[in-house]
Structure 1
Amino acid sequence: MASVRLRSVGNSVGVVFPKELLAKYNLSEGDTVQVVETPDGFLLTPVSPDVEEQLRLGRELMKTYRETFAALAK
């Protein structure tokens, strides 16, 4: 288990991860992690580029066929 410190980043707050932890999970600056709230706190999970691309395509599809999906949802 690793402890991290919250730091001010502009008007927000960010987390700085130790280099060893980033290396262990093959993460670097600019990568995306998913944050899930659990009864015990937060769960951070790396998001693979493949999943990000699938989500992007899904959002594009939903936007293009918004009316069709709305009709199907009725």
Structure 2
Amino acid sequence: MDTVTVRKQGNSVGVAIPAETRVRMGFEVGQELTLVELADGIKLVKRNLALEKQLAAAREVLREQADALAELAKR
């Protein structure tokens, strides 16, 4: 397990990912990662654009069909 140090970067803070970890995980310079907050820390995951599009479409359907879904939930 690697240890990283939180460093000031402008108005934010950041950490450097060790080169060996970066290569093993396939991270590229400029690649966006999703930060997930957990009860005991954080998790960085590669963005999955296909999944994000599917979730956006599902949210839209849920928004459009909210009344029908609420009626079904009563049954």
Which TM-score band applies after superposition, normalised by the shorter structure? 0.5 to 0.7
Listed as ranges, the gaps of 5+ residues in structure 2 are 68-75
Name the counterpart of 1:55: 52
Q: CA RMSD in A?
A: 2.5
TM-score norm. by structure 2 comes to 0.62
Contact kept, 8 Å, 1:25 with 1:46, in 2: the verdict is no
Larger gyration radius, structure 1 or structure 2: 2
Q: Identify which of 59, 65, 71 aligns with 1:72.
A: 65
Listed as ranges, the gaps of 5+ residues in structure 1 are none
TM-score norm. by structure 1 comes to 0.63
2:37 partner SS: strand
How many percent identity over aligned positions? Answer: 27
